[in-house]
Amino acid sequence: MSEFDAITVNRKFGDEHFHNDGQRLDFNLLNFWQWSASDLSNNALRGKLAEFLVAQALGVSNGVRVEWDAYDIKLPNGISIEVKSSSYLQSWAQQKPSAISFDIRPTRSWNLETNYYSNEARRQAHLYVFCILAHNEKITLDPANLNQWLFYVLSSRTLDERLKTQKRISLRTLLTLKPIKCTFSELNEEINNISIQLITHQST
C-alpha cells in the first residue's frame, strides 16, 4: 500500500477497545455504536438501515458498506442495486405524516481507488429498491420490525425511459410505473427474478 492509496476497511465486531497507543481504555466500539446509531427512525440512519435490510435479504451483508460508492449493493451476478428509503414518521415532532418521496437523480459515479468522478451523469445501478417504513403510529413505531416495511423494486431503465433526468419521485408517481411490491421475506426471490431478466436482456 502506497502512502495515499485507499484505506482497506476491515469489518469490526464491536468489542474493539479505544486505546492510547496500545493502552486499552474502558470503552469500545459497541459503546460508540450505541451512542451514535440507536435512533433507527432518524432519517439519515434509516437510509443506511434500509441498505442493510436489502443486503441482508439478498445474503450479501457480510462485507463493509462503502459510503460513497456508485451504488449501494452489487450481487455476485453483476447486477447493481440502489437503495432509497422514506418514512411517514420522523424522530422529531410532526404536525402530520411526511410525504413519501425518493431521490432518483442521475449522478456522476466516484471511484474509491482513483478518487475521480466519471464524466457522465446517469443512474448508476441496474435496479432501484424503494424502502418505505410504512408504519403510521409513533407510539408503536419499530424500524426493527420488518412487518412495518414495504419494498418496491424497479429497473433503472424504466426510470430513464419514463422520467428522464427527473430528480425526485413521489410514491404516487412511483406506483404508476408498476414496480414490484414485496415484503422483506419476498425481496430475495423478486430481485433474483428481475436480475435474471436483466441479464437475459443484456445478452441478447
pLDDT in tens, 77-96: 999 999 999 999 999 999 99
pLDDT confidence bin for 109, thresholds 50/70/90: confident
CA dist 98 and 90 (Å) reads 8
Per-residue model confidence as pLDDT tens digits over 152-190: 999 999 999 999 999 999 999 999 999 999 999 999 999
Q: Name the percent of the chain lying above pLDDT 70.
A: 98
pLDDT confidence bin for 119, thresholds 50/70/90: confident
| Residue type, position 121, single letter | A
- Angle at CA of residue 121, ends 119 and 123, nearest 5°: 135
Q: At 169, phi and psi to the nearest 5?
A: -135, 135
**Alpha helices (runs of H) in the chain, residue ranges in sequence order:** 29-36, 43-58, 156-163, 171-176, 184-203
Overall residue count recorded for the chain in this entry: 204
Is pLDDT at 204 greater than 70 in this prediction?
A: no
E-only strand ranges, 39-145: 73-74, 80-87, 101-103, 107-111, 116-122, 127-133
Q: CA dist 94 to 8, 84, 110, 137, 138, Å?
A: 41, 22, 36, 12, 10
Q: What is the DSSP letter of 12?
A: P
Tell me the whole-structure pTM to 2 decimals.
Answer: 0.93
CA dist 18 and 45 (Å) reads 23
CA dist 148 and 53 (Å) reads 13
Q: CA dist 96 to 121, 137, 140, 148, 153, Å?
A: 35, 11, 16, 18, 27
- Asked which of 90-94, 104-108, 117-121, 153-157 is least confident by mean pLDDT, the reply is 117-121
